[in-house]
Chains A and B, each alone.
Chain A
């Protein structure tokens, strides 16, 4: 899913939530 970096931003959010 390519959507001007939003998918990547959710990825960063998910990673930061898993490894605070």
Chain B
């Protein structure tokens, strides 16, 4: 984003999800994006076989947050040998739910005229952070007190060279909202909230000390198992 413009959500680079050698010549690389509240799986399909590929379709296994294709996989023309196409598949979060390990794992089946292929990929939990995840300050204080200490996890983010305002702006681009900022003994303490698509709230305290490139983030959540994935998002957003 330019000066004064909000930055967009963090999007990881595309990685190869399905190598051609495991899928009779079909290679799929992809990533996940969230734009204006819409989650999309963006994929590049490449035909590395010697015959034309047609009749593509996609299906997900049940997963932790109910991610499901919101429509068919739009491959409207046959894919010739050595040809690549970009496909964006919008996703909904109201599909069937089953807890996965890790929590953000997604098992996918892709079919074409040759066969059915399976692969697993992992999405950043931040894809699930909704736009109205800014908790009321009063509610934040009460919730923070109410969540038991056993549900608090602490993580270090090493080698981060942003000041607390820049960090706050960057995180807001991914729907991690700063509710309050206090400075105590040279440390900026940012109190932040985010809400997942399944209405799970995560509360955070981010500590930034001037001149110290190591941040500390403490996460409090009633569903403590999401904390590891949320921490990974903090790292990814702040370091990219």
Cβ-based interface call for B191 (8 A): yes
Q: How many residues belonging to B are interface residues under a CB distance threshold of 8 Å? A: 13
B141 touching A10 by the CB < 8 A rule?
Answer: yes
Q: Taking the nearest CB of chain B, how far is it from the CB of A3, in angstroms?
A: 7
B182 touching A11 by the CB < 8 A rule?
Answer: yes
A12 CA to B187 CA, complexed, in Å? 14
B137 touching A18 by the CB < 8 A rule?
Answer: no
A18 CA to B202 CA, complexed, in Å? 21
Q: Which residue of chain A has its CB nearest to the CB of B189?
A: A14
A13 CA to B207 CA, complexed, in Å? 13
Q: Taking the nearest CB of chain B, how far is it from the CB of A12, in angstroms?
A: 9
**Chain A residues near B240 (CB, 8 Å)?**
none
User: Do A17 and B141 form a contact, CB below 8 Å, given A10-B182, A11-B182?
Assistant: no
User: Do A3 and B137 form a contact, CB below 8 Å, given A10-B180, A10-B182, A11-B182?
Assistant: yes
**Chain A residues near B191 (CB, 8 Å)?**
10, 13
B187 touching A13 by the CB < 8 A rule?
Answer: no
A10 CA to B144 CA, complexed, in Å? 11
Further 11 A-B residue pairs, CB within 8 A, beyond A6-B141, A18-B187:
A3-B137, A6-B180, A7-B180, A10-B182, A11-B182, A13-B144, A13-B182, A14-B182, A17-B205, A17-B218, A18-B184
Interfacial residues, chain B to chain A (CB-CB below 8 A): 137-138, 141, 144, 180, 182, 184-185, 187, 189, 191, 205, 218
The contact sample of 24 A-B pairs, CB cut-off 8 A, is A3-B137, A6-B137, A6-B138, A6-B180, A7-B180, A9-B141, A10-B137, A10-B180, A10-B191, A11-B184, A13-B141, A13-B144, A13-B182, A13-B191, A14-B184, A14-B189, A15-B184, A17-B189, A17-B205, A17-B218, A18-B184, A18-B185, A18-B187, A18-B189
Interfacial residues, chain A to chain B (CB-CB below 8 A): 3, 6-7, 9-11, 13-15, 17-18
